[in-house]
Structure 1
Amino acid sequence: MKIRVIMTLCLTAVAANVQAHGVKVPSDSKSLQIFKDVPSMQIASMNEPGVNAYFEDIVGSADPNAPIACGIFKIEKGNPLVYTYDYDDSKVILDGHIYFSDGNQKVKGEVGDVLFFPKGSTITFSTDDSGLAYACGQRKLF
């Protein structure tokens, strides 16, 4: 329940000037936006050979001076995903668990955990089962 509240709050925080899962929301909108049952939506493959990782943007700001984009990330057992961030990013674990390593430390993110990845960091993602996370970064929509 707390995870749904966190997701709803994050999503509604970017309600003005947004594009939502392929649908443009009017830039002058001051209305709350809600995206139902996000954890069950279809998530596109990240197309990394041998890596079972998936990501889908849900909503993002159209403000070029203060971009923010939020989406859903999933990883399943397989080869690790290595990603270098060119923006600040955070993740909230929604289901399962994900291992994160920055080369100096390795942590296990579990349901309810929040992780922060600063711009310039290189993170290795892995799991021995599967993990699902809500992601929110200071970037434009992919």
Structure 2
Amino acid sequence: MSADAAPATTTAPAAFRVTPEAWKRLPRMEEYPASDGYIADVYENPEGSRMCSGFFELKHTDEPLVYDYEYDEMKVVLEGEFLLTNIDTGQAMVAKAKDAIFFPKGSRIAFSTPSYALAFYAGDRDATLL
């Protein structure tokens, strides 16, 4: 290294995070009063990331919860099962525990469940879009 060169600086990588029991006590989705859905981000754009992630819980009701995706999202079903219908295409599928789901931006999805379902999600979005 020459006398004129500045010493290299190093930045420590950000620490990883563990948030125990983040799926408990999720707030109700008040904007969907006919549905019994609960959702919360656990991590909102952490360390400047483009992603948000959290938990979505749904209990059986007669009306499905219809969600318009303004961003790409992936879900993994942890418990129960979701009955999923794309409002625009009519595509219908069942996603059960341990199934992975991808919803492309622009999808309008009707969520229902015969009894109960819990999922973890990660979305390519700003925290303000939930």
Q: Confirm whether residue 45 of structure 1 aligns to residue 31 of structure 2.
A: no
Structure showing greater radius of gyration is 2
- How many Å apart are 1:29 and its aligned residue? 6.2
Describe how 1:104-123 pairs up with structure 2 within 5 A.
Answer: 104-123=90-109
Q: Confirm whether residue 31 of structure 1 aligns to residue 15 of structure 2.
A: yes
Q: Which runs of 5+ in 2 are unaligned?
A: 1-11
Question: Aligned residue pairs: how many?
Answer: 112
Letter in 1 for 2:98: G
TM-score by length of 1: 0.73
Q: Confirm whether residue 136 of structure 1 aligns to residue 114 of structure 2.
A: no
Determine the structure 1 residue equivalent to 2:57. Answer: 74
TM-score by length of 2: 0.80
Letter in 1 for 2:58: I
Larger proportion of helix: 1
Letter in 2 for 1:73: F
- How many Å apart are 1:120 and its aligned residue? 0.5
Determine the structure 2 residue equivalent to 1:95. Answer: 79
- How many Å apart are 1:60 and its aligned residue? 2.2
Identical aligned pairs, as a percentage? Answer: 29
Q: Which runs of 5+ in 1 are unaligned?
A: 1-27
